[in-house]
Amino acid sequence: MISDDNSRAMQASISGNSKTIGKRSSPGFLVNTFHCVECMLNDETFIINPPEGSAVYIADWKSFIPPITSLVIGVENMENFLKIRNHGSLFDNCLTDAETDIIFIARYAFSSDISRWLEQIPNRYLHFGDFDLAGIDIFLNQFKPHVEERGSFFIPSDISSRISRGSRKRYNEQFLKYSHLTAADDGLSSLIALIHRYRRTYDQEGYIKTGNLLRNNRGISEDDSM
Instruction: Identify the pLDDT of residue 110.
Output: 64
Domain boundaries, the chain: 25-128
- pLDDT (mean) for 20-29: 71
pLDDT band at 26 (very low <50, low <70, confident <90, very high): confident
pLDDT tens track for 120-162: 999 999 999 999 999 999 999 999 999 999 999 999 999 999 9
- pLDDT (mean) for 80-106: 95
Which among 225, 84, 52 has a CA at the least distance from the CA of 154? 84
Query: In sequence order, what E strands does the chain have?
Result: 29-33, 37-41, 44-48, 56-58, 64-65, 70-75, 101-107, 125-128, 151-153, 209-210, 213-214
Q: What is the pTM of this model?
A: 0.83
- pLDDT (mean) for 70-89: 95
